[in-house]
Chain A
Amino acid sequence: MGILEFLKGAARQVVTGGKAYKAWVAVLVGMMVIGLVGYANQWQGGLIATNMRDQVTWAFYIGNFTFLVGVAAAAVLLVVPAYVYHWKPIKEVVVLGELLAISALTMCLTFILVDMGRPDRLTHIMPGPGNPNWPDSMLSWDALVLNLYLMLNLVVVVHILYRAYRGQDYAKWFVVPLVLFSIPAAVGIHTVTAFLYAGMAARPYWNAGILAPKFIASAFCSGPAVMIILFQILRKTTAIEIKDEAIQKVAELMAYAMFFNLFLLGAEIFKEYYSHTEHLLYTQYLWQGIGTHKALVPYAWFSLACSVTAFLIFVTPAGRKNWTTLNIGAVLIFSGVYIEKGMGLVIPGMTPDTLGEIYEYQPSATEWMVAVGVFGMGGLVFTTLVNVAVPIMMGTLRAKGASTVPMGAEATH
C-alpha cells in the first residue's frame, strides 16, 4: 500500500517541473530520438553501419562503456567518506552520487547491448535461460557484477528515499551493510572490466597488470569531475544545499587520483619505449602514429594536456577554491579521461591487428547517433531521478501526514 503510494507520488513528480526542467527533458528526449534513428539503421543492416571491421572489432561503443563503468564506480568516492568516516557535509550528497551511478550503469549496459551482433539473444548470457561461461569468461562476470552493482545502488537509494518520503530515517541495519558492500563492489566492477582487456594475450597493449590499477585511478578522476559540475548545477536549480566544503573535498581527492593516474601512464610509456620490443607499436600508434597512420595522435596529446593541466589546477588549493578554475579543471579531467579510456584504450589495442594490418578506425555517423542517444537516455534517467529525489530529501515531497523535516536535518539529530 505504502509502496504503491510512493511510486505514484514519484511518478507524478517525474512530470512536475519548471520550464527549464521541461526544456532540458525535451533536449534529452530529442537525443534519444537521434539514437533510435541511428540504431534502427544498425538493426536493419547490421553492424556494418558502424566503422568497426574484423581488424578493429571493438571501438567507440566499447570505449564509452569502459569510460562509464569508471563513472559508475566513482560513486564509491562519496560513499567511503560519507558512511565510513561520517563526514557530515558529504553525507547529504551520497544519494546523488548513487543516482549518478545508476544512470551511468544504465548507459554501460546499453552500450554493450548496441555493440552486440545479436541483441535478440541477450538471454543466452543469463543464468537460467542461458548458459553463462563461468568462471572462464570475463564478460559473463562483467554482466553479473554490473547488474548486481546496479541493483545494489537501486535498493539503497529507493530505501532511503522511501523512508524519507514517509518521514522516517533509513534503517541503519539494512543500509550500512549494503553500503559497505558497495565499496568492494564498485572496485569490483571496474577491476572485472579491466580484466576483460588485460586477460587477452593476443593484444599486448592491454595485456598488462597495470591496467586494473590504472582503471581505478582514472575512474576516481572522471566520476567526481561529473559530480562536481552536477552539484553546482543542482544547488542553483533545486532547493538542495551542497556545502562548498563537500565539493572542495572531492576536488582534493581527484588531485591525488590524477597524480596516480599520470604516474601509471608514465610507467607504462617508459617500459614500452625503453625496452623497445615489437609491442611498442601500439603505444607508438597512439602517441606518434605509424607511418602515415596518425588518426589518434592529436587526441592522445590533447588528452594528456587536459589531464596535466587539470592536475596542476586541482593540486593547488587556490586552483580548486576558485570556482572558475575548478570548473575548467573538472571539464579538462573529464575530457582527458574520456579520450584516454575510450578511444585511447580500445583502438590502439587493436591497431595494428593481430596479423599486423593497420586499419584506421573513426566512428561512423551511425555510431555517433547511437552514442548521443545513449547519453541522452542516461541524462534522462539521472534528471528524472534527481527531480524525484531532491524534493523528498528536502521534505517538500512527502506522504500525507508524514514529517516534513529535511533528510539531512534528521540525520544530525
Chain B
Amino acid sequence: MSQHDRLPIVQDAAEGCEAAAPPSRRDFLRTAAAGAVIAAVSGCKPDAVVEELQRRHLTELSKDRLQEMLGKLEKKWSAEYGKDVKVGLRPPMPGVNFAYGLDLSRCIGCRRCVYACVKENNQSRKNPQIQWIRVLQMDKERGVSLEHATPYYNPEKVPEPGHFYMPVQCQQCRHPPCTKVCPVKATWKEPDGIVVIDYDWCIGCRCCTAACPYGARKFNWAEPKLPAAEMNPVTDYLGNRPRPMGVVEKCTFCLQRTRTGRYPACVEICPVGARKFGNLLDPESEIRQVMDRKRVFVFKEELATEPQFYYFYAT
C-alpha cells in the first residue's frame, strides 16, 4: 500500500481504470489542464489538486481503490501524528439498526459526554472548537422550550436547582433533511441507521447545517486543531478520522466503536447512566428495554424527521 503514496498522475489514472475503460488521452489532458489552472489560482501543489480532481464519489470506487486510498491516509496521518493511525471503512452490520435513548430525568448536565466525544472523535479543540454534543440547560418551570434554553451555563456544581438538562446531538433521522439538501451526495443514511459524511467529498456549502433542525452539524471554519498527543489513532473513514478544513462533521454514534460491538463514548462515560444505546432489531437490547418499559418521545416531532434518538423520563 505504502509505495503508492506519491504516485504520479499518469500511473494513478491508469491504475484506477484497469477494470473499466482505459483512460483517454483527452480525459487526462482535460483534468491536467484544469488542475494546472486551479493550482495557479490557488497556489496549491498541482499534484494535490489533480488528485482532488481525479477523486470519484465513494460509491464509484472499486475495492482496490478504496484500500489504496485508506492506506494513503493511514500513512499520511501516521507521519503527521507520530503514531500508528488506522483508518477503517467498516460496513454496517447486517440485522442491526441502531437507536439511542436519553433519560432526561437522570441527566445532570455535567458535560462529560461532550468531552468524551471530543476525545474519541478527534474534534478540533480550539479555533475552531467543535463539539458534536450540545447540552442545553432548561427551566423546570417551562419544560422543553428552546426559547428559554442555554448551552452556556457554568456553575460550580451541577445540577442547579430549578433546571434540567437536555443533551442534543445528531438524531440520525429516518427522514434526514440534511442528506436531501446535499448537492453532491456527500452525506447519506446507512442501513444501520447512521447518517454519515464523506469529508473528502463535501464541498462545504453548508446546506445541511441550514437544513438540520437539531444544530447537529458543525463546520470546520478553520484548519482543525488536533494535538498529536491527544489524537485517537483508531479511526474510521466515515467516522472519527481527522477532518480537513472547510467541511461539515457530526455525531456518527461512534460508528468506529459501535460497528465492532462497543458502546459510543458518550454512553460509556455518562456517570449517571442517562444514556442508553442498542440495536432496535434485537428484542433483548438496552434500547428495546427502554422502549418497552418507558414512554419515549422524539425532539421536534412536528417536523416528521423521525429520529432514531429517543428521549424519555425514567422516573
Contact = CB atoms under 8 A, between A and B. Distances in A.
Nearest to B31: A129
Contacts of A43: 42
19 contacts: A54-B217, A57-B209, A117-B204, A121-B202, A122-B203, A125-B183, A130-B184, A133-B183, A133-B184, A133-B185, A138-B207, A139-B205, A140-B184, A202-B210, A202-B213, A352-B146, A353-B215, A355-B151, A356-B146
Nearest to A290: B147
B203 A46 contact: no
Contacts of B185: 131-133
Contacts of B205: 112, 115-117, 139
B203 A137 contact: no
Contacts of A122: 203
A138 B180 CA distance: 9
Interface string A113-130: 001111111111100011
A54 B183 contact: no
Contact of B211 (A124, A132, A200, A357): A200
B49 interface: yes
Interface string B137-156: 00000000111111100000
Interface of B: 34, 38, 42, 44, 49, 52-53, 57, 60, 127-128, 134, 136, 145-151, 168, 177, 180-186, 201-207, 209-215, 217-223, 244-248, 303
Given A125-B203, A137-B181, A139-B205, A201 B303 contact: yes
Closest 3 CB pairs of A and B: A117-B204, A117-B246, A356-B146
Given A118-B244, A354-B215, 14 more contacts: A45-B222, A45-B223, A115-B205, A116-B205, A117-B220, A117-B246, A119-B203, A120-B44, A121-B201, A125-B184, A137-B207, A140-B183, A201-B213, A202-B213
Nearest to B199: A118
A45 to B, nearest CB: 6
Contacts of B168: 355
Contacts of B207: 137-139, 196
Contacts, number: 157
B147 A281 contact: yes
What size tier do the contact residues of chain A reach?
A: 35 or more
B163 to A, nearest CB: 15
A48 B206 contact: no
B181 A138 contact: yes
A203 B210 contact: yes
B182 A133 contact: yes
Nearest to B131: A54
Contacts of A356: 136, 145-150
Nearest to B34: A123
A350 interface: yes
A407 B245 CA distance: 53
B136 A355 contact: yes
B206 A57 contact: yes
A46 B246 contact: yes
A354 B212 contact: yes
A46 B245 contact: yes
A55 B38 CA distance: 31
A133 B202 CA distance: 12
A196 B53 CA distance: 27
B151 A357 contact: yes
